[in-house]
Amino acid sequence: MTSPCNSDTLAEIERRVLWLSTSMIHHANRIRPNPSGLKVGGHQASCASIVTIMTTLWFEQLRPGDRVSVKPHASPVLHAINYLLGGLDESYLPTLRQFGGLQSYPSRSKDPDSVDYSTGSVGIGATAPIWGAIARRYVDTAFGSTGVGRQYSLVGDAELDEGAVWEAVMDSSVAELGEIVWIVDLNRQSLDRVVPNIAADRLGRMFDAAGWQVITVKFGALLESLFERPGGSELRRRILDMPNAEYQRLLRCTAEELRLRLPGDGHSAPAVEKTIADLDDATLLRAIRNLGGHDVDALRDAYSRIDDTRPTVIIAYTIKGHALPTEGHPQNHSSLLSSDQYDDLAHALGADPDDPWRRFDTGSDSATVCASTSAALTRPPVDSEEPPSVPEDMGRTPSGISTTQAALGRALLDLTRAAPDAARRVVTVSPDVSSTTNLAGWLNKVGVWSPHERRDWFADDAETIMHWREKPTGQHMELGIAETNLVGLMSELGTTWSRWGQPLFPIGVMYDPFVERALEPWSFGIYAGGQSILVGTPSGVTLAAEGGAHQSITTPSIGLEQPGCVSYEPAFAIDTEWILFACIGRLGRPDGTSSYLRLSTRPVDQTLAAVPSDPSAREHRRRHAVAGAYTMRRNPECAVVLVGMGAVVTDTLVAADRLSEMGIAADVVCVTSPGLIFEALQARRGHGTAASWILDHVFPATRTAPVVTVLDGHPHTLAFLAGINGVRGSALGVTGFGQVGSLDDVYRYHGIDADGIVSAALDLVT
């Protein structure tokens, strides 16, 4: 922690941070040429609201091991501080929201300076440090040497409207995380309005109920001193009781208006009137805006009370637009200072509008504090360990009846034997569905992670199949059912290579339809640099009698479209194993990629996979399965190509047999990854750089027969395949939601059974 600054110096730095952040936005909107006339935007008022908090935090509180998640709209404040600390080149300051320049919101992957957490999706950036704290503890128990450090979140008050926030705060594992500190920038304004009943006390009670330490910073020293005067308690009550909007309105008043309005019309009005009567105008105007979130001493006091034994929330009262002419205005969220207002601000802050990026004079107290703070906060560079290699093939050929879901658990167990170093880095996470998604064997083998060993009271119960052995070496984590928490944790487990040099292989398992609920935070996590494998199982309508409510229909399409992620839907156990190992091999490295596996509980005869016994032919099949598709049947007189994916490949093969009996030769292709095939096709057409060899093997130009595609998901996902060779096509799949039934019933209902496939083929060939 850096030592306390001289107050005047800190005030000067604070003014400069306000000036620089305001200027970056001003420059982006009013100075940089904007030929298209499109809105650029930026949030000067949101920045001003948090300048004191961030200045005091960086210049007096932070230690190098700490991490901070900054509310999205305060990104210019972060860049201003990084600039003053020498971590951002001046040339970037005029580039806010410019291509290749500073991003709109703090971005770990895209900003040039030090950003601990990407934010922008309200609620997700705020909760990320919670998952970052758990990930750090996990790495520390498994591999050691992460050091310690607080995990701060600087949160906008409207961010607390997000369910994601409360799902995280309430998770039972969180109350133990003493390194978590949230600072709520309570300006009682959201994007559109002054929030009528923000009820900070109620918020505080909710955190308290979840086991957090709650520190409220309401007023600054000036107001506190007025409260000590005769009539001061009435003044205090009056300010506390007035509606938020009325308070905001007072910020827009002249001193004269304030003298009339502040006392109100209640019985305490005369006492309040008397308390403020002898204040000069300037003091009165200062007093009404003297909230704790803008008062250095009040904030220092709050920081000093953090007890580090449980998560802490500091609820800091602030003013949106503090010290700007837009201060407190209900619609100030996106409003920008005019050029005249900007010039006035320069004057008030002692800055020069024509030389906005000027640094502190060399040798000045502020320059010295910036230099010493920078030195104190410097972190050693992270040397990331090369992830251990993952075997591509175990050489086993599953026979008998099995499911792709079961293959996942089996493959993980195999990995512990064949490649213990790689297996040691696997962490599985599940939102309360480990047993129903077949992870019991893996769990029994590796145990459940907990920072401390806990007694398993069912260890000696012969009827307990899945053992819940909690220990620091465990490799499975279980949160509550909240899927958003799960993907947040996966994302942070997937960034440990970049934070502490220790790659992990996080694998999260959930019922496939709930991937849609978790999608946006998972996608945001990928953008933020987290690499993980998400497994959706069971999936589609193939889960049959498990329930119409649990069907997933759009997820294959989601997988195809998700940036930073390769999606797969294997048909056989062997494909699942090959694909899983390939996906693990892409994790935990700077150029790494996430994956999404859509698995199934359909029992399938594994001999249908017809895995070649010749080692070269087997490897050929494996490479194709991992590249997105492989040929299962090829006929010289092919009249129709049947392309199946995942669970419906069984029916595709049956349909091919039936067509053959009718004298219609049908090729069969098994697609494992529509996304990879689509990328290959795009690359062949000059879009992107993906390899396209798989098309030559599986969809060669000579394959000119019409194509029937079928999957347990929306048919459009595979419909593009007919376009590869420009042939006629028919796309089968699922477009309706909710009908429960046996597998035969639902397949027939959706037309994805063998009958449906045969019929579609006949339509094309006859």
Ligand X SMILES: Cc1ncc(C[n+]2csc(CCOP(=O)(O)OP(=O)(O)O)c2C)c(N)n1
> Among 602, 599, 622, 603, which Cα is nearest to 612's?
622
Cβ proximity to ligand X: between 77 and 677 the closer is: 77
Nearer to ligand X, 73 or 137 (CB): 73
* Strands of 213-217's sheet in order across: 67-70, 151-156, 180-186, 312-317, 213-217
Residue 157 sits in the site that holds Mg ion (CB under 5 A): yes
Alpha helices in 599-673 (DSSP H): 615-627, 649-661
Listed in sequence order, the residues at least 6 apart from 116 whose beta carbon sits closer than 8 Å to its beta carbon are 67, 68, 69, 108, 129
Give the nearer residue to Mg ion in terms of CB position, either 317 or 581.
Answer: 317
CB of 372 to Mg ion, least distance (A): 33
Between 162 and 667, CB nearer to ligand X: 162
Closest residue to ligand X, judged by C-beta, is 156
Q: Which residues contact 284 (CB under 8 A, 6 or more apart)?
A: 255, 258, 259, 276
Q: CB of 175: closest distance to Mg ion in angstroms?
A: 26
Task: Please identify, using beta-carbon distances, which residue of 236 and 322 lies nearer to ligand X.
Answer: 322
Beta bridge partners, 153, equal: 69, 182
Work out whether 293 is an interface residue with Mg ion (CB under 5 A).
Answer: no
Q: Which is nearer to Mg ion, 158 or 390 (CB)?
A: 158
Q: How far is the CB of 185 from ligand X (least distance, A)?
A: 5
* Greatest Cα-to-Cα distance within the chain, rounded to the nearest angstrom: 103
Footprint of Mg ion on residues 429-458 (CB under 5 A)?
A: none
Reading the block at residue 380, the tokens are 């050693």
Binding site for ligand X (CB under 6 A): 43, 46, 49, 71-73, 120-122, 156-159, 185, 187, 189-191, 320, 333
Tokens matching residue 546:
């498990």
652-657-662 Cα angle (round to 5):
125
Tell me whether residue 189 or residue 555 sits nearer to Mg ion (CB atom): 189
Phi, psi (5° rounding) for residue 366?
Answer: -65, -40
Q: Are β-strands 594-598 and 565-568 bridged in parallel, bridged antiparallel, or unpaired?
A: parallel
**What residue spans of 494-537 are helical by DSSP H?**
496-500, 515-527
Q: How far is the CB of 124 from Mg ion (least distance, A)?
A: 17
User: Is the preceding omega at residue 325 within 30 degrees of 0, hence cis?
Assistant: no
23 touching Mg ion, by CB under 5 A: no
Smallest distance from ligand X to CB 297, Å: 22
| Residue 503 partner contact from ligand X, Mg ion, none using kind-dependent CB cut-offs of 5 to 8 Å | none
CA–CA separation, 518 and 738 (whole Å): 20
Angle between helices 754-765 and 743-750 (to 10 degrees): 30
CB 713 within 8 A of CB 698: no
In the beta sheet, which residues pair with residue 643? Answer: 669, 709
The single-letter code of the amino acid at 238 is R
Q: Which two structure tokens, joined as six digits, stand for 665? A: 């030769």
Closer by beta carbon to ligand X, 104 or else 366: 104
Query: Binds 233, which of Mg ion, ligand X, none (CB < 5 to 8 A, cut-off by type)?
Result: none
User: By C-beta, is 328 or 628 nearer to Mg ion?
Assistant: 328
Out of Mg ion, ligand X, none, what residue 121 binds, judged by CB under 5 to 8 A for its kind, is ligand X
Q: Which stretch binds Mg ion (CB under 5 A): 117-125, 134-142, 184-192, 449-457?
A: 184-192
For position 189 contacting Mg ion by CB under 5 A, the verdict is yes
Between residues 71 and 218, which has the closer beta carbon with respect to ligand X? 71
Residue closer to ligand X by CB (options 121, 495) is: 121
Rg (CA), the chain: 30
Q: Which residues contact 543 (CB under 8 A, 6 or more apart)?
A: 550, 551, 600, 601
User: Which part of the chain contacts Mg ion (CB under 5 A), choosing from 14-22, 149-157, 299-307, 753-761?
Assistant: 149-157
Residue 703 contact, options Mg ion, ligand X, none, Cβ 5-8 Å cut-off depending on partner type? none
Told to check if 156 binds Mg ion by CB under 5 A, we report: yes
- What is d(CA 398, CA 607) in angstroms, rounded to the nearest whole number? 8
Residue 428 binding: pick among ligand X, Mg ion, none (C-beta 5-8 Å cut-off by kind): none
Is the Cβ–Cβ distance between 478 and 360 less than 8 Å?
Answer: no
Selection from ligand X, Mg ion, none that 73 binds (CB < 5 to 8 A by kind) is ligand X
Asked if 332 is part of the footprint of Mg ion (rule: CB under 5 A), the reply reads no
Is residue 187 a contact residue for Mg ion (CB under 5 A)? yes
419 binds, among ligand X, Mg ion, none (CB under 5 to 8 A by kind): none
Q: Among Mg ion, ligand X, none, what does residue 116 contact (CB within 5–8 Å per kind)?
A: none
586 touches, from Mg ion, ligand X, none (C-beta below 5 to 8 Å by class)? none
159 binds, among Mg ion, ligand X, none (CB under 5 to 8 A by kind): ligand X
Query: Under the rule (CB under 5 A), what is the footprint of Mg ion?
Result: 156-158, 187, 189
